[in-house]
């Protein structure tokens, strides 16, 4: 082949590619199209296999769990009694708080609905550079970008891309993840940053004069406009105060065991408040 | 019909493979087989489907898979002039080149999107891509039906 022709095709191809890439960055059209086609087809392929695996695994697990069932039953009964007592006290306190909030004229918190979803895969494909999981809920069931994702232990992350029936969840541990938090006991505010798989989370912008101790649970502050207030995120593992800076050096461990996640909850807000819409759009 | 079924099964198995070993492209050997034994139109259709899958399931903005398959196409085309495309040595060399291309492309895309680049993890995945590619090609080529090879040879 003529070298001039090869060079022409190379330059023309590169030009076309760059034009396509920048156009897509601006409009997101191709990303959306590949999400609706590629992501959903991956979900359609992975879901039946997962179902088979879960069914077979569940059968074996049920058989194995018959061993030692009596002792486990007794422990669980004792646990239920303790939890009932705790729930009773907490219910009283919650009702009292609601009454005080009503008296003081606080606005009603936005309405959130929970919906269960199954984890069908973790990272998939060569471009899976982000820490993500795939769940079997998409736009058809009301999941959309930035929908908070939880487990029973705490915050898992938020939806990064939503296909029609499958969605990609950006995990708390990804370096692109940011969650506004406060300490549950001492109310010190900060922002949790992911540092990658298997790494501890870093809590930035915690004021030097704030009170925060190792072992304290960090909960969402609701200031980021994504997560509702009060969801547990991480447990503080190390706090270091250096006089030279304005902020404390804080590390935390996520409460959720991400590699073992099988089911998650999607939190869907019924109506998005006007102020947060303005902030995020 | 047989070709459609074979490529459908191949694509399904590759998706499963990719979910078990993230960071590795299982479709790449398919392109080598398709270019060798099938009509160009079949390769184009398969590549479009695989691009959609890789881009949709991945975490980066659209663009990686186009460059990735363009590089693979170029390497296969140039390599065919110099070496026997049916030899495992050629495919092993191609695997090494793909491992390197995977690293460079991911780095380029991560920089363009201002994403964190997990160096250790990506290096491991590149090594896995380089090692897995010839093995997957060998297995897929051995399983590719002879009837489909003959059909193409007769029509060509």
Which domains, from first to last, does chain B contain?
A: 2-155 (1.10.1760)
Q: What is the dihedral of CA A69, A74, A77, A83, to 10 degrees?
A: -110
Is 0.95 exceeded by the ipTM? no
User: Does B47 lie at the interface with A, CB-CB under 8 angstroms?
Assistant: no
How far apart are alpha carbons A124 and B110 in whole angstroms? 17
Closest A-chain CA to B69: A126
The rounded distance, in Å, linking the Cα atoms of A93 and A86 is 11
B70 touches chain A (CB under 8 A): yes
Predicted TM-score (pTM) of this structure: 0.83
Q: In sequence order, what DSSP letters do the residues of chain B get, joined into one string? A: -HHHHHHHHHHHHHHHHHHHSTT--SSHHHHHHHHHHS-HHHHHHHHHHHHHHHHHHSSSPTTHHHHHHHHHHHHHHHHHHHS-TT-HHHHHHHHHHHHHHHHHHHHHHHHHTT----HHHHHHHHHHHHHHHHHHHHHHHHHS-HHHHHHHHHH-
Average pLDDT over residues A82-104: 85
pLDDT category of residue B153 using cuts at 50, 70 and 90: low
**Which residue's entry shows tokens 């690293």?**
B103
Chain B partners of A126 at a C-beta cutoff of 8 Å? Answer: 18, 23-25, 54, 58, 64, 68, 102, 106, 125, 129
Contacts of A157 in chain B (CB under 8 A): none
Contact B23 A134 (CB under 8 A): no
pLDDT number for residue B84: 83
Q: How far apart are CA B136 and CA B146, in angstroms?
A: 18
In B, which residues are within 8 Å of A177 by CB distance? none
Question: What is the pLDDT, as a whole number, of residue A108?
Answer: 66
For residues A67-84, average pLDDT: 86
pLDDT category, A271, cuts 50, 70, 90?
Answer: low
CB within 8 Å of chain B, chain A residues 90-109: none
For residues B15 and B53, what is the distance between their CA atoms, to the nearest angstrom? Answer: 9
Q: What is the mean pLDDT of residues A163-181?
A: 93
Cα of A43 to nearest chain B Cα, Å: 9
**Contact predicate A116/A265, CB 8 Å:** yes
Mean pLDDT of B15-29: 93
Q: Give the sign of the dihedral formed by CA A221, CA A224, CA A228, CA A232.
A: negative
Asked whether the beta carbons of residue B56 and residue A35 sit closer than 8 angstroms, the reply is yes
pLDDT for the residue numbered A281: 39
Rounded distance between C-alpha atoms, residue A192 and residue A205, angstroms: 9
Q: If you write DSSP's letter for every residue of A89-150 in order, what string do you get?
A: HHHHHHHHHHHHHHHHTPPPPPPEEEEEEEEEESS-STT--S-EEEES--GGGT--TT-EEE
Average pLDDT, integer, range A132-159: 92
- Average pLDDT in the B101-116 region? 92
Mean pLDDT over A70-79 rounds to 87
Tell me the C-alpha distance between A161 and A173, whole Å. Answer: 17
Q: What CATH number was assigned to the domain covering residues A178-255?
A: 2.40.10.350
Set of chain A residues whose Cβ sits within 8 Å of the Cβ of B46: none
Question: Which residue did the predictor score with more confidence, B40 or A51?
Answer: B40
Cβ-defined contact of B52 to A163 (cutoff 8 Å) = no
Q: How far apart are CA A231 and CA B60, in angstroms?
A: 28
Cβ contact (<8 Å) for B16 and A125? no
- pLDDT tens string A108-126: 667 788 889 999 999 888 8
Per-residue tokens: A42: 């991956």
- CA A29/CA A15 separation, integer angstroms: 19
Q: Do residues A207 and A187 lie in contact, with contact meaning Cβ atoms separated by under 8 Å?
A: no
Instruction: Determine, for residues A42 and B19 on separate chains, whether the beta-carbon distance falls below 8 Å.
Output: yes
In chain A, CATH 2.40.10.350 covers 178-255
Contact (CB, 8 A) for A244 and A217? no
Mutate to test the interface with A, among B58, B64, B124 (most CBs of A within 10 A): B58
Q: Can you tell me the mean pLDDT for A194-204?
A: 92
pLDDT higher than threshold 50 for residue A96: yes
Asked if the Cβ–Cβ distance from B66 to A34 is below 8 Å, we say no
Rounded to a whole number of angstroms, the distance from the CA of A262 to the nearest CA of chain B is: 15
């Amino acid at each position: 082949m003529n070298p001039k022709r090869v060079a022409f095709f190379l330059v023309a191809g590169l030009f076309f590619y760059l034009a396509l890439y920048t156009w897509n960055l601006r409009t997101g059209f191709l990303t959306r199209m590949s999400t609706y086609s590629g992501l959903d087809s991956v979900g359609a392929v992975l879901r039946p296999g997962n179902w088979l695996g879960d069914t077979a695994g569940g059968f074996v697990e049920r058989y194995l769990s018959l061993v030692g069932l009596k002792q486990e039953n007794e422990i669980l009964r004792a646990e239920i009694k303790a939890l009932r007592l705790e729930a009773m006290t907490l219910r009283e306190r919650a009702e009292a708080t609601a009454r005080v909030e009503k008296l003081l004229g606080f606005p009603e918190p936005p309405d959130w609905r929970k919906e269960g979803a199954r984890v069908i895969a973790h990272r998939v494909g060569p471009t899976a550079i982000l820490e993500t999981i795939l769940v079997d809920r998409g736009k058809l069931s009301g999941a959309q970008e930035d929908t908070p994702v939880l487990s029973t232990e705490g915050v898992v992350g938020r939806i990064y891309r939503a296909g029609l029936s499958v969605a990609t969840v950006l995990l708390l541990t990804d370096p692109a993840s940011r969650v506004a938090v406060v300490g549950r006991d001492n109310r010190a505010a900060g922002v949790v940053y992911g540092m990658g798989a298997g790494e501890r989370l870093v809590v930035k912008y915690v004021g030097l004069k704030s009170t925060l101790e190792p072992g304290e649970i960090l909960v969402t502050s609701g200031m980021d406009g994504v997560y509702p207030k009060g969801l547990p995120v991480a447990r503080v593992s190390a706090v270091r105060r250096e006089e030279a800076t304005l902020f404390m050096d804080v590390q935390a461990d996520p409460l959720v065991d991400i590699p073992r996640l099988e089911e998650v909850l999607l939190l869907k807000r019924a109506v998005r408040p006007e102020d947060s819409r303005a902030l995020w759009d | 019909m047989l070709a459609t079924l074979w490529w459908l099964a191949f694509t399904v198995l590759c998706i499963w493979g990719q979910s078990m070993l993230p960071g590795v492209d299982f479709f790449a050997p398919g392109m080598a087989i398709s270019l060798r034994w099938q009509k160009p139109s079949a390769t184009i259709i398969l590549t479009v489907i695989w691009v959609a899958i890789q881009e949709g399931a991945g975490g980066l903005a659209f663009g990686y898979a186009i460059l990735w398959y363009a590089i693979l196409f170029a390497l296969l085309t140039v390599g065919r002039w110099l070496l026997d495309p049916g030899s495992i040595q050629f495919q092993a060399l191609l695997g090494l080149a793909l491992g390197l291309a995977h690293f460079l492309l991911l780095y380029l895309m991560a920089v363009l999107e201002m994403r964190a680049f997990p160096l250790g993890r990506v290096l491991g995945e590149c090594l896995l891509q380089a090692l897995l590619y010839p093995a997957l090609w060998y297995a897929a080529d051995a399983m590719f039906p002879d009837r489909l090879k003959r059909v193409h040879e007769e029509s060509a």
